Amino acid sequence: MSAGTQVHANLTEEQVREISGDLDEPDWLTETRLEALAALEELDMPDVIRTPGRDWTNLHDLDFESLVDPLNAAEDKDQVGPEEAEVLSWSDAVQEHEDLLKEHFGSIVDPQENYLTALSTALFSTGTVIYVPEGVDAEDVAIRTEQNSRSLFNYTLVVTEESSSVTILERQSTGAEQDEQYYSGIVEVAAGENSYVQYGSLQNLSEEAYNFTVKRGVTDTYATIDWIEGNLGTQLTKTEVSTELRGESSETQIVGAFYGHNDQHFDLDAKVWHRAEHTTADLVTRGVTDDIARSVYEGVQDVGSDAWDTSSYQRENTLMLSDESEADASPKLIINNHDTEASHSATVGQIDQEDLFYMTSRGVDPRAARNMLVEGFFVPVLEEVDVDELRDDLTELIGARLRQRD
C-alpha cells in the first residue's frame, strides 16, 4: 500500500459483483472491476503539484470510506441525441455494443492509473455510450446527471468513426443534497480518422461535494477533439482534461473557465501529448478566485521525438478578487523535437485599479464596474465556446455568482 492511501474496509467483492450483475455485464468486465478493486491496496492518489513539505492539493485527508456508499447510488439522468447517432445508457450499451466496449473501455484511461480511477472503475453504476457511425454529423447530444445520493460513479465513452462529427454537452448538478457527497467521472473519447468531437462540460455540483474527473481523448489521422470545461461547484475538484494526438495532422483545443468563492478548491490539469507529425494544440484557461478560494493549475504540452512540425500554445490567467484567495499555476513545455513552434504563459493578478478608476470616474457604480471587469475578463474564453447553450449557461452562472457577492 502506498503511503497515506486508504484501504476501504467497507468495500467488498460481493458489492462489486452486485453492481456488475445488476447491469448484466459480461464476465470480462466484472473481472476488470474486481482487478481494480484489488489494486486499491497498491495504488497511490493522482499526481498533484508538490513542493518541499507541501502537496498543493491534499487528497489523502478526504474520508473516502465515509464518502463512498457503493450500493445506494441514485441519480436523475437524461441522455438524448439525434437519431443518426447512438446515445445509450450503460446497461443498453452492454447489451448492444459489447464488442465496442471490449475494444475501447479502459484503453485511454487506465483503470488502474491511480487510486481514484481504480475506485471509479470498480464502482461505477451509471454511464453513457455515444457511437457515431461513419459519415454521420450528430449535433445536440445532451447528457444531464443530477446526483441524488452520497456517492455517484459515472463513465462515458465516445467513439466516432471515419469522417463523422458530434457535439456533446454534459451537465452535472446536485439534486437531493446531503452534508457531503462524492462524484467521480471518467470520460474516454476515441476520435476516428478525419472525425470531429466537441465535448462541453458544465460542473455545478453542491459546494458540499467533492469531485474527481478525468476526461481524455485520442485522435486518429486528421481528427479533432475540442474540450470545453466549466467548473463552478464543489468544495474540492480534482480534474484533468487531456488529449493524445496520435494521428498525423490531428488537432485539439482545451478551453477552461472556473470561478471559486467561499472556501472552494480547484485543482485543474490541462494536458496534450503530441505523438505524430503536423499536430496542433491550443490550451486556454481563465478563472477567478474570491473570498478564501484557491486554484491550482497545471498545464503540460509534451512534444514527442517523432512529432515533427508541431504547433502548441498554452495560456492560463487567474484573477483574484480578494487578498485572502490564492492561485498557483505551473505551465510546462516538454519538447523532444526541434521542429516545434510552441509557447506557454500564466498570469495571476487582481483587478486593474486604473480600469476601475476610469469606469467609476465616469459615473459607473463601483460594484457594477468591478462586475463588468470580471465579466470582461472571461470574454476571451467564452468567445472560444462554439456551443451557444453552454456559453449562455456559463455567462449566467458567472453573473449570478457576482451578484451573490454583492
Question: In the prediction, which pLDDT does 387 show?
Answer: 86
CB distance 154 to 145 below 8 Å: yes
- For the residues of 184-221, what is the DSSP string, one character each? EEEEEEEE-TT-EEEEEEEEE--TTEEEEEEEEEEE-T
**SS3 (DSSP) at 28:** helix
CB distance 131 to 98 below 8 Å: no
Q: Considering all CA atoms of the chain, what is the largest pairwise distance in Å, rounded to the nearest integer? A: 70
Closest listed residue to residue 47, CA positions, set 182, 239, 231: 239
Collect all residues with Cβ–Cβ distance below 8 Å to 274 and sequence separation of at least 6. 245, 281, 301, 302, 303, 304, 307, 310, 312, 340
Question: In the prediction, which pLDDT does 1 show?
Answer: 45
- Strands (DSSP E) contained in 72-195 are 75-80, 86-89, 126-132, 137-147, 151-160, 165-174, 181-191
- For the residues of 342-393, what is the DSSP string, one character each? EEEEEEEEE--HHHHHHHHTTT--HHHHHHHHHHHHHHHHHTT---HHHHHH
Chunked mean pLDDT (size 10), the chain, 406 residues: 57 96 98 97 92 87 90 94 96 97 98 97 98 96 96 98 97 87 98 98 96 98 98 98 98 97 98 98 97 97 98 97 94 96 94 93 92 94 90 94 83
